Every structure is written in C-alpha cells, then in structure tokens.
C-alpha cells in the first residue's frame, strides 16, 4: 500500500485537500478564459458595421482589431488584407 505524503494525502483523509481544490480552481479558470475568448475578423476591402464580430461586420483595419482584442482572443485576417 502506497501513501502519498508530499501533499498530505493518506487513505484516511478526504481527497479534497487544499492542493486538490487549488488544482480544480485553476482548471476552472483556464476553461472559463477559453470559453470567453472571441474571434475578431479583419478584411481591408470590406464594408459593414466595422465591429469585427463576424465576416459581415469585419474590422477594415488590423490595428483596430489589435486594440480591441483581449487575452486569448483570435484575430482572423482575410487573405490579401
């Protein structure tokens, strides 16, 4: 029988130790960051609302997309832009 002592787990302890909880919390934060990521669209020759929210309303200037992008956002640029 092996007893893990580096994080305080033994067969008699509750497996939800502070380390286990910290790992779960970190995983949840990483997942929520990925879920909230957006895709911003850029096409220099397009028309539309210039919001970057879709190919119909793309940014026409890459700098506008870079300025409004948040962590984990993706910027998709149309070929030839």
pLDDT of residue 74: 95
pLDDT tens readout for residues 26-36: 555 555 545 67
Beta-bridge partners for 42: 59, 77
Give every CB contact of residue 25 below 8 A, 6+ residues apart in sequence.
none
Cβ 65 vs Cβ 73: under 8 Å: no
Q: How far apart are CA 48 and CA 54, in angstroms?
A: 10
Residue 57 corresponds to which tokens in the numbers above?
């309303």
pLDDT tens readout for residues 28-65: 555 554 567 899 999 999 988 989 999 999 999 999 99
Burial class from Cβ neighbours inside 10 Å (0-12, 13-18, 19+) for residue 52 reads buried
Specify the pTM: 0.56
């Amino acid at each position: 029988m092996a007893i893990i002592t580096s994080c305080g787990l033994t067969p008699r302890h509750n497996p939800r130790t502070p380390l286990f909880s910290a790992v779960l919390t970190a995983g949840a934060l990483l997942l929520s960051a990925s879920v909230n990521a957006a895709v911003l669209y850029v096409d220099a020759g397009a028309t539309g609302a210039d919001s970057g929210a879709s190919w119909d309303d793309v940014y026409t200037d890459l700098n506008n997309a870079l300025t409004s992008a948040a962590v984990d956002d993706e910027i998709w640029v149309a070929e030839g832009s």
